[in-house]
């Protein structure tokens, strides 16, 4: 019960905020519905007057004038409720889009590892679409359908005949029930159709991507046979939808037809026997037209409101997610870091049931030193960095900077003081300049160019069509792996932080460039802490200390010469790499 | 490599385009004809149904004015208070002794009995102007009328009286009701059948075009795939074809049906009353224009929304996957502001669409009511002046309102027609791509290839005159292992492409077993050659299906055997489901080395005479590397092998090494011979050693 309350919370905040808009919109809707009923009534009055010869042209004109005024008011109202209700649903959609993103920004990497990007995006697209429909048109439909049908039925009963109204309510109720089930079935078949289309697209995509293999293995005919079966099953799924489509509307029309039939038969009989007048008969027929739409709308909005509620429930899952990595309620008074990092009996596992990735790490990185971390894939190198940047919190033990526990340092201070070059070299689809100044938004052009020189990428950038204003990504230039790495290094250098972490950031650059960058780093990072993760011994040989991790434990720790002397895993790796280079070196392609 | 061509759609089709699209509907002509007839029937019924109501009103409900005559029992079914009555006569020529007449006054019916013919005629003339002749002495149940010197008196009719007197009208209503019920039934059946037929046809056409496009695409040479992005081609086969389905399942027939409906309504209305039609239909053209104009605006607004939605999606997908970076750089606020701009953009575009609809819909509904007002205005004048009945007014109201629907639909259908034509253009542009690699109809058939390969003065360019290979000649004997070495872009990979005839050469000849490859069928040629590529493509499926590749003749046993031979069984057996382990290209469950081994098994399963190999440069761990080397040895046994090699170990084991430099074959020989020659090979070799030190 408690949980349910929570689910409504986020939405009710906005419903409250925009309640005035909704109330105004609904009032307008009510007014329109009320006025709408006058149109058939006026029509009836005129026909009646003509039949009983109680009206002359002037009388007719007076009624017609009222009709025109009514129609004008209705049209103005139709504009109004769209603005107030539908417009508000779009405002809420926008606000929720912003809120979800804002919330995501506070969530830890654990959340992003557990949830695929595509699934998270579905909240913004599919779910918010459903919610927008529920908050907009469904509310309009629901109010409209309810009020309109009630008022119409009331008029039918009081102005024309109770028994006749009861008769036509049988087929009308049928329309409501039928439309509810038809829409449900449509949703089901439509989802199936989308899925089938997705499968078809995957099949085509795969087949065309594999064109070379298919040609090499002369599989063209077999591919076509296979595609035919996929295509056929897509056809079948579509036919199911088609059958429903062909049946649904004509069936509804049968019900509508039956209600008109009742009007003719019963109404005709009533008119002849003078229970109702001819004008009332015609009035009833036109009221019937007004009643059809609300009946269909009932089924419609019921479906959309259910879907909207389900969507809100999903979205709330994000809102209810607890941010794991947050500032301590009593943070230490730290505004800059000096650059000393200390791991004290650090243990870490990514999940309760997952194996330990780091066990009992005790390492002290002195201010101003260059510290290298090596080890095989999966040894825990990147995990150490993840802990230092507090993407995750340690399972036990502690990490401290200049004696402050990492959890006591405000998150913003910690991250502002660490410059980081990630392994995946993520760049945004923006201009190079914007990407470079990501860590220092107010960087001058001179500073940017200087950082790029240091990262040995300025020359490449000068070759691009728009130089530093070149767009990166789909809409612009695609950078090579090496270029990305160097841009990513420049981005970090520009921050000029007390601590620089490079996670395997030189793997895609050739050895000459690597030497250049390492040389530049030495002068640039003098007196500041630099932490380098690497695979190549050549990258780390000038580091002050080298940590060799093995299966999450400190295997070896010392300077280059110390480790060589130790003649352990590091020394073995060094010799192996030397040999490899001499013998089986790859032709740089 | 060739540059990606900008998407070019041939727009020169125009007139022919529509005809060419229609050609795909030809196998289903009978469906169209039946559907069309049914649509016409449906349209006719739509027109017919309101006239039934009008008939019920005019001929039955408002039929109280028809006089009665007293007649003999055998000529009547109507007994009113012991008197046998009939209404089945013509007053002008009738010759009865006594007549009766119903009169409607002040919402009550009165029956005048015992009238003479002239009395009846008097009453008939004054049915609509009774107040002038109603006498002051009338009471609630008696109506007195001054007919000249006669004073006529009618008695008030009760519900039961009316039921008896108007039996024939009630029966008439019953008959009309039955007809109406029948018309509903026929209408529904016709509608269901035609909709189903058309939907099926639309889907069938889509199915046909997809197969044709798919087959055609795979018949195109590699050059096409070099120059056209995969996504674009996929869109042609999927989305663009989908856009055509509406053309066949809906638009084509609906356009005709709606035009028929509009014409039908207009014809009926003009037949009933030309002046009334001219006076009441003036607003209809306005609806046409308004809808057409707004249709354009809607499309524009919709496109803008699509752009903004995909803009937001791009932003989200990028920033959700890059969230780590945002957090590490503590740029949450900065990025949140950017997102707000993006969502505000989308919001504005949605509001623009909303505004268009908020104007269009109310204006149309206003025009709708105004049309009814116009009908009532003109209609009432007509009724008051005589000449127009209330039934006619009813039909006019009904039809004028009904006209709105097909008009609005027609403009919508016109825009989906445009969409279909646009997609059609793109589809035909792909279908008209020519296959430049032509097979000779009278190709030479070869039982089994021995594996001799010869290049005779081969010149080749991917793009005009930009030769990648210049005058290359060499002979490789059956069973020989040849390695091609050279700097990047020297033309090594091109040689591999040419042997399987993935591209045609400009000059010279390529022969396999002394037969020009242009004289062989592509199928035979490519079946003789197995390609082992750098990037191994993994199909969605399982390990088995990735070795077998849709070739059902290869048994499970053969698959296991092939996997064992190339040492792939080791890692396959370690997978949870072994040979049935699901794999896919995107699900990166297999390492580069494992992919290589899998591709070896794939190759071995087809048992080729010639092995063509582009050695992988990817880093593979030592253990797998050793497995690969061993597997390669088995694979090459007894086969002509031609490879682009990177590893010195592979190169050294080749029977012959050919050095390609700037598109020319410069040196050839064994490793030792070439080193002794002190030429390009030696330089390449030293450069490699040096650059890695």
- Helix ranges restricted to H, B607-678: 622-636, 648-652, 671-677
Give chain A positions within 8 Å (CB) of B52. Answer: 264
Mean pLDDT of A394-420: 86
- For residue A69, is it within any domain? no
The answer on A555 and A485 residing in a single domain is: no
Mutation target to probe the B interface, by most B beta carbons within 10 A, among A103, A105, A531 is A105
Residues A374, A480: one domain?
no
How many CB atoms neighbour CB B466 within 10 A? 9
Q: What does the alpha-carbon distance between residue A374 and residue B535 come to, in Å, rounded to a whole number?
A: 29
Q: Do A271 and B354 touch (CB under 8 A)?
A: no
Taking each helix axis from N to C end, the angle separating A511-524 and A481-495, rounded to the nearest 10 degrees, works out to 0
Q: B176: which chain A residues are within 8 Å (Cβ-Cβ)?
A: 264, 268
A249 touching B (Cβ < 8 Å) = yes
Q: Mapping DSSP to helix (H, G, I), strand (E, B) and coil, where does residue A50 land?
A: helix
Instruction: Yes or no: say if A104 and A120 are a contact pair by the CB < 8 Å rule.
Output: yes
Is residue B215 classed exposed, middle or buried when 0-12, 13-18 and 19+ CB atoms within 10 A define those classes?
middle
Q: Do B325 and A43 touch (CB under 8 A)?
A: no
* Domain ranges, residue A473: 427-496
Q: Are residues A504 and A481 in the same domain?
A: no
Q: Are the beta carbons of B211 and A231 separated by less than 8 Å? A: yes
- What's the rounded Cα separation, in Å, for the pair A127 and B494? 50
Report the candidate in A369, A325, A307 with the shortest Cα–Cα distance to residue A500.
A369
Residues of A in contact with B653 (CB under 8 A): none
CB contact under 8 A, A511 and B317: no
Angle ∠(B112,B115,B120) on CA atoms, nearest 5: 85
What is the structure's pLDDT at B13? 55
A278/A583 Cα distance (integer angstroms): 105
Backbone angles phi, psi at A356, to 5 degrees: -70, 130
Residues A435 and A582 in one domain: no
* Closest Cα in chain A, distance from residue B151 (Å): 23
Residues of chain B with pLDDT under 70: 1-15, 487-490, 585-589, 616-624, 646-649, 686-693
Judged by a CB distance cut-off of 8 A, whether residue A391 touches chain B is yes
Topology of domain B453-691, per CATH?
Rossmann fold (3.40.50)
Q: Is the ipTM of this complex over 0.85?
A: no
A346 and A413: one domain?
yes
Domain boundaries, chain B: 64-168, 275-382, 453-691
Q: What is the CATH number of the domain that holds A340?
A: 3.40.50.300
How many domains does chain A divide into?
2
Residue B559 near residue B548 (C-beta atoms within 8 A)? yes
Residue B8 has φ and ψ, to the nearest 5°, of: -115, 120
A-B contacts at Cβ under 8 angstroms? 388
CB contact (8 A) between residue A264 and residue B316: no
Q: Which residues of A touch B390 (CB under 8 A)?
A: 47, 50-51, 278
Q: What is the distance between the alpha carbons of residues B546 and B585, in angstroms, rounded to a whole number?
A: 11
Examine residue A28 and state whether it is found in any structural domain, yes or no.
Answer: no
**Set of chain B residues whose Cβ sits within 8 Å of the Cβ of A104:** 320, 323
**Per-residue tokens: B283:** 């607003």
Residue the block writes with tokens 């990305």: A484
For residue A282, tell me if it sits in a domain.
Answer: no
Rg (alpha carbons) of chain B, rounded to whole number:
44
Residue of A nearest to B104 (CA): A52
Model confidence pLDDT, tens digit, residues A480-508: 777 888 888 888 888 888 888 988 887 77
Contact check, Cβ <8 Å, B606/A97: no
Whether A465 and A586 share a structural domain: no
Q: Which residues of B touch A236 (CB under 8 A)?
A: none
| Cβ contact, residue pair A264, B336, below 8 Å | no
**Inter-chain residue contact B330 with A60, CB threshold 8 Å:** no
CB contact under 8 A, A208 and B234: yes
Distance from CA of A356 to the nearest CA of B (A): 22
Kindly give the residue spans of alpha helices, DSSP state H, lying in A210-277: 211-216, 220-262, 268-272
**A484 assigned to some structural domain:** yes
Per-state percent for chain B, helix, strand, coil, to nearest 5:
60, 15, 25
Contact A415 B330 (CB under 8 A): yes
Residues A549, A567: one domain? Answer: yes
The structure tokens 């929720």 sit at: A96
Q: Is the pLDDT of residue A1 over 50?
A: no
Tell me the average pLDDT of chain A.
83
The pLDDT tens digits of the residues spanning A195-205 come to 888 888 888 88
- A197, A258, A272: residue with CB nearest B169: A272
Q: Where are the alpha helices (DSSP H) in A57-135?
A: 57-81, 87-106, 109-114, 117-122, 128-135
Residue A212 or A89, more confident: A89
Q: Within a domain: residue A555? A: yes
Q: Select the residue of A242, A275, A511 nearest B200 (Cβ to Cβ).
A: A242
A538-572 pLDDT per residue, tens: 788 888 888 888 888 888 888 888 878 888 888 87
Name the more confident of B14 and A84: A84
Q: What is the dihedral of CA B676, B680, B686, B689, to 10 degrees?
A: -120
For residues A395 and A534, state if they share a domain.
Answer: yes
What pLDDT was estimated at residue B587?
52
Structure tokens at A468: 């530093």
| Site from B313, B324, B642 to mutate, A interface, most A CB atoms within 10 angstroms | B324
Contact A431, A470 (CB under 8 A): yes
Same domain (yes/no): A394, A506: yes
> Residue A40, class by beta-carbon neighbours within 10 Å (0-12 exposed, 13-18 middle, 19+ buried)?
buried
Q: How far is CA A228 from CA A222, A547, B584, in A?
A: 10, 58, 21
Q: Do B163 and A273 touch (CB under 8 A)?
A: yes
Assess whether A458 and A404 both reside in one domain.
Answer: no
User: Which residues of chain B have a CB within 8 Å of the CB of A278?
Assistant: 57, 61-62, 390
Contacts of A175 (CB under 8 A, 6+ apart): A252, A255, A256, A292, A295, A296
pLDDT of B495 reads 86
Query: Under an 8 A CB cutoff, do A117 and B219 touch?
Result: no
Q: Do B384 and A57 count as a contact with CB atoms less than 8 A apart? A: yes
State whether B214 and A225 contact (CB < 8 Å): no
Contact between B76 and B100 under an 8 Å Cβ cutoff? The reply is: no
On whether the CB atoms of residues B214 and B236 are closer than 8 A, the answer is no
């Amino acid at each position: 019960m408690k949980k349910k309350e929570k689910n409504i919370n986020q939405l009710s905040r906005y419903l409250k905020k925009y309640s005035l808009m909704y109330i105004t919109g609904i009032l307008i809707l009510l007014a329109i519905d009320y006025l709408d009923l006058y149109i058939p009534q006026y029509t009836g009055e005129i026909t009646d007057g003509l039949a009983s010869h109680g009206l002359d042209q002037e009388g007719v004109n007076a009624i017609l004038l009222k009709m025109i005024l009514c129609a004008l008011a209705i049209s103005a109202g139709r504009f109004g409720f769209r603005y107030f209700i539908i417009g508000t649903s779009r405002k809420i959609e926008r606000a929720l889009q912003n809120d979800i993103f804002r919330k995501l920004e506070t969530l830890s990497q654990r959340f992003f590892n557990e949830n695929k990007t595509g699934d998270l995006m579905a909240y913004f697209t599919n779910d918010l679409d459903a919610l927008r429909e529920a908050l907009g048109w469904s509310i309009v439909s629901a109010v409209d359908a309810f009020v309109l049908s009630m008022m119409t039925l009331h008029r039918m009963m009081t102005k024309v005949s109770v028994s006749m109204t009861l008769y036509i309510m049988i087929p009308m109720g049928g329309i409501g029930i039928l439309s509810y089930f038809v829409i449900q079935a449509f949703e089901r078949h439509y989802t199936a159709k989308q899925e089938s289309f997705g499968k078809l697209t995957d099949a085509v995509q795969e087949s065309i991507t594999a064109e070379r293999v298919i040609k090499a293995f002369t599989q063209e005919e077999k591919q076509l046979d296979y595609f035919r079966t996929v295509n056929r099953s897509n056809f079948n799924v579509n036919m199911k939808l088609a059958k429903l489509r062909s049946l649904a509307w004509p069936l509804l029309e049968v019900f509508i037809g039956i209600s008109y039939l009742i009007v003719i038969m019963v109404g005709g009989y009533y008119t002849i026997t003078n229970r109702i007048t001819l004008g009332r008969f015609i009035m009833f027929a036109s009221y019937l037209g007004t009643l059809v739409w609300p009946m269909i709308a009932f089924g419609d909005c019921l479906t959309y409101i259910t879907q909207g509620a389900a969507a809100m429930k999903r979205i709330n899952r994000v809102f209810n997610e607890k941010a794991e990595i947050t500032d301590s309620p009593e943070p230490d008074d730290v505004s800059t870091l000096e650059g000393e990092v200390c791991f004290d009996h650090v243990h870490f596992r990514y999940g309760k049931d997952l194996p330990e990735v780091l066990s009992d790490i005790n390492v002290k990185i002195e201010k101003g030193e260059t510290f290298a971390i090596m080890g095989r894939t999966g040894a825990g190198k990147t995990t150490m960095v993840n802990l230092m940047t507090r993407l995750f919190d340690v399972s036990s033990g502690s990490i401290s900077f200049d004696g402050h526990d990492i959890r006591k340092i405000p998150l913003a201070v910690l991250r502002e003081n660490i410059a980081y070059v990630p392994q995946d070299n993520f760049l945004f689809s923006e201009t190079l300049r914007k990407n470079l100044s990501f860590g220092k938004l107010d960087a001058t052009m001179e500073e940017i160019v200087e950082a790029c020189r240091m990262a040995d990428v300025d020359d490449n950038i000068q070759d691009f069509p728009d130089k530093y204003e070149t767009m990166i990504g789909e809409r612009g230039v695609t950078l090579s792996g090496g270029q990305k790495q160097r841009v990513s290094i420049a981005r970090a250098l520009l921050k000029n932080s007390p601590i620089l972490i490079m996670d395997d950031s030189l793997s895609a650059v050739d050895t000459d460039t690597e030497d250049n960058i390492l040389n530049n780093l030495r002068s640039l990072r003098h007196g500041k802490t630099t932490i380098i993760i690497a695979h190549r011994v050549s990258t780390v040989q000038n580091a002050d200390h080298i940590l060799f991790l093995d299966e999450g434990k400190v295997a070896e720790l010392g300077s280059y010469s110390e480790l060589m002397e130790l003649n352990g895993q590091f020394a073995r790796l060094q010799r192996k790499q030397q040999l490899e280079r001499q013998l089986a070196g790859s032709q740089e392609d | 490599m060739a540059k990606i061509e900008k998407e070019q759609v041939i727009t020169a089709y125009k007139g022919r385009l529509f005809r060419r699209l229609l050609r795909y509907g030809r196998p289903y002509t009978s469906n169209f004809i039946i559907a069309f007839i049914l649509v016409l029937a449906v349209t006719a019924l739509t027109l017919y149904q309101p006239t039934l109501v009008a008939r019920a009103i005019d001929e039955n409900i408002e039929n109280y004015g028809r006089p009665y005559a007293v007649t003999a029992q055998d000529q009547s079914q109507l007994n009113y208070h012991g008197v046998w009555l009939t209404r089945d006569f013509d007053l002008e020529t009738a010759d009865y002794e006594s007549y009766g007449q119903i009169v409607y006054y002040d919402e009550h019916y009165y029956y005048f009995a015992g009238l003479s013919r002239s009395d009846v005629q008097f009453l008939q003339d004054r049915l609509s102007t009774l107040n002038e002749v109603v006498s002051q002495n009338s009471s609630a149940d008696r109506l007195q009328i001054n007919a000249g010197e006669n004073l006529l008196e009618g008695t008030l009719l009760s519900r039961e009286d009316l039921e008896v007197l108007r039996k024939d009208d009630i029966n008439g209503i019953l008959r009309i009701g039955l007809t109406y019920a029948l018309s509903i039934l026929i209408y529904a059946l016709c509608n269901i059948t035609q909709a189903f037929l058309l939907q099926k046809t639309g889907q069938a056409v889509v199915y046909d075009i997809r197969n044709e496009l798919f087959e055609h695409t795979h018949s195109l040479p590699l050059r096409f795939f070099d120059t056209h992005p995969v996504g674009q081609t996929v869109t042609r086969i999927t989305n663009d074809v989908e856009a055509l389905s509406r053309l066949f399942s809906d638009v084509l027939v609906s356009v005709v049906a709606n035009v028929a409906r509009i014409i039908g309504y207009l014809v009926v209305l003009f037949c009933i009353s030309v002046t009334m039609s001219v006076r009441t239909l003036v607003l209809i053209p306005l609806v046409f224009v308004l809808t057409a104009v707004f249709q354009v605006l809607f499309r524009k607004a919709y496109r803008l929304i699509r752009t903004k939605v995909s803009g937001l999606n791009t932003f989200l997908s990028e920033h959700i996957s890059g969230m780590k970076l945002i957090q590490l750089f503590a740029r949450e606020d900065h990025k949140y502001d950017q997102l707000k701009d993006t969502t505000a953009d989308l919001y504005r575009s949605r509001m623009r669409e909303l505004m268009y609809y908020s104007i269009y819909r109310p204006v149309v509904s206003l025009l709708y009511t105004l049309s009814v007002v116009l009908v009532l205005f003109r209609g009432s004048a007509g009724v008051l002046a005589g000449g127009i009945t209330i039934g006619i007014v009813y039909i006019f109201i009904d039809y004028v309102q009904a006209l709105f629907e097909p008009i609005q639909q027609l403009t919508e259908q016109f825009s989906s027609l445009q969409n279909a034509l646009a997609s059609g253009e793109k589809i035909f542009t792909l279908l008209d791509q020519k296959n430049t690699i032509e097979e000779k109809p009278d190709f030479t058939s070869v039982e089994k290839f021995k594996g001799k390969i010869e290049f005779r003065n081969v010149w080749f360019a991917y793009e005009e005159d930009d030769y990648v290979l210049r005058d290359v000649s060499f002979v490789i004997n059956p069973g020989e292992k040849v390695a091609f070495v050279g700097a990047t872009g020297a033309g090594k990979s091109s040689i591999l492409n040419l042997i399987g005839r993935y591209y045609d050469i400009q000059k010279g000849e390529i022969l396999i077993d002394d037969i020009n490859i242009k004289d062989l069928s592509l199928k035979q040629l490519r079946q003789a050659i197995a390609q082992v590529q750098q990037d191994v493509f993994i199909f969605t499926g399982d390990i088995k299906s990735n070795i077998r590749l849709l070739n059902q003749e290869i048994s499970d046993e053969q698959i296991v055997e092939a996997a064992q031979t190339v040492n792939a069984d080791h890692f396959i057996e370690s997978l949870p489901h072994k040979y049935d382990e699901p794999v896919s290209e995107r699900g990166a469950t297999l390492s580069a080395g494992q992919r290589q081994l899998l591709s070896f098994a794939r190759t071995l399963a087809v048992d080729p005479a010639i092995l063509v190999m582009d050695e992988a440069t990817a880093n593979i761990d030592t253990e797998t590397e050793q497995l690969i080397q061993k597997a390669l040895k088995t694979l090459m046994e007894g086969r002509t092998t031609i490879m682009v090699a990177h590893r010195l170990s592979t190169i050294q084991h080749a029977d012959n090494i050919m050095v390609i430099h700037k598109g020319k074959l410069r040196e050839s020989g064994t490793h030792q011979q070439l080193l002794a020659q002190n030429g390009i090979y030696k330089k390449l070799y030293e450069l490699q050693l040096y650059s890695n030190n």
